[in-house]
Copies of this chain bind each other. A is one copy, B any other.
Amino acid sequence: MNFQDPSSLSEDELESSAVFAPRFGSGGLITAIAVDHADGQVLMVAHMNQEALRMTLETGTVHYWSRSRQSLWKKGETSGETQRLIEMRTDCDQDAIVMKVEQLGHGAACHTGRKSCFYRRVDLENGTPRLIMDSEPPLFDPEKVYS
């Protein structure tokens, strides 16, 4: 599976045509967002290179590029928290990917054991931003899973 080179397309073609020409940016990466297919909650934000995007489409199991490890990352390979691709979308200028996924395993996308990585909201206390943690406990114990 090869992707079209976006630089070969006009702005109108990029935005309005049926040609999938993902715009990999600095370091050859594109931002990829996983949302829960059932309730739409944003689970995590990560990055894909060409290979991760291709593997995701070809296998139906979500792959990312790990910037910290500098390697292809089959999400859930260690933890068992794999993601099944239900639907993939791209945006107007094709520099981002949104995926509706079924979160398998314990249903925890986050390495902390939580369903979503976005488990804290920003609250202003007298003009100073602070983080308030959601009350739901983790779905697994990361110390056991990653030991």
* A residues neighboring B (CB under 8 Å): 1, 3, 15-20, 26, 31, 33, 35, 39-42, 44-45, 57-58, 87-93, 95-96, 98, 110-112, 117-122, 124, 127-133
Contact = CB atoms under 8 A, between A and B. Distances in A.
| Copies of this chain held together in the complex | 2
6 contacts: A3-B129, A19-B131, A39-B40, A88-B121, A90-B131, A93-B117
Contacts of A96: 45, 117-118
A124 B95 CA distance: 19
Contacts of A15: 112
Given A89-B120, A124-B57, A131-B90, A42 B31 contact: no
